[in-house]
Amino acid sequence: MSDKGLITEDRFLIYAKKIIGQKKIPLPEEECRTAISRAYYSLYHITGSILKSKYSFQLIKEIRKSYPRRRIDLAKLNRLDKKYLHSFNLHKMFFLTLIDLGFATIAFRFRDFRSKRNEADYDLDLNFNVTYSSIIVNGIEKLMEKVRQL
């Protein structure tokens, strides 16, 4: 851990852009994949912090609705305990909460980037090049701007 302070959400995106901005020709595929994965996590963290700070009621409601069979610790959930929240599929919860709030377009784009991140990290049959990764990373950056304005 750094003593200079906590890492911010956009640092992953900065790193992703640094990767795809390299002048290496061709850019190694693992770097193209890493850029997509890092950029998605910037989006994930910014979405999480906006939902927790501005729409916590809807987020909690969505978690309770999505896990009807699970015995929920309401005290921990209501105070948005970080460790406790990690026991839920937050990627899914953010998507569902965004739809419930009426931000369907943002929710579907968020879900698309989640899918792209999974492909980048798990699907080795696909080919990733710098052009494709740049399109995705730029798309993520634009979506982050929209999420910040929610």
Partner 1 sequence: MIAPEEVNSSVGVNIKAEQVSGYRPFPSGQQSGITDEGPRVAQDVFPLWRAFEEEEPKMHVFDWMSILGDQFLNQSGVSNILGRRPQPPVFQKPYKITEIAHDFIRKQKRSIDLNKSLDKVSNRILEFMKGRAIESEIIIDLEADTEYGDWIEPRIRVLVEPSKFEQTYKLFDKLLYFSLKGIRKRETKRFMITLDMM
Q: Which string of x and - marks every residue 95-114 that binds partner 1 (by CB under 8 A)?
A: -x--xx-x-xx-xxx-xx-x
Q: What is the DSSP string of 99-135?
A: HHTT-HHHHHHHHHHHHHHHHHHH-TTS---HHHHHH
Asked if residues 116 and 38 have their Cβ atoms less than 8 Å apart, the reply is: no
Out of 8, 22, 87, 89, the residue judged to bind partner 1 by CB under 8 A:
89
Number of chain positions touching partner 1 (CB under 8 A): 23
Helix axes 29-54, 90-100, angle to 10 degrees: 50
How far apart are CB 4 and partner 1 at their closest, in Å?
A: 31
Answer yes or no whether residue 37 interacts with partner 1 by CB under 8 A. no
Asked if residues 58 and 97 have their Cβ atoms less than 8 Å apart, the reply is: yes
Positions in the binding site for partner 1 (CB under 8 A): 89, 91-92, 96, 99-100, 102, 104-105, 107-109, 111-112, 114-116, 118, 121-122, 132, 135, 139
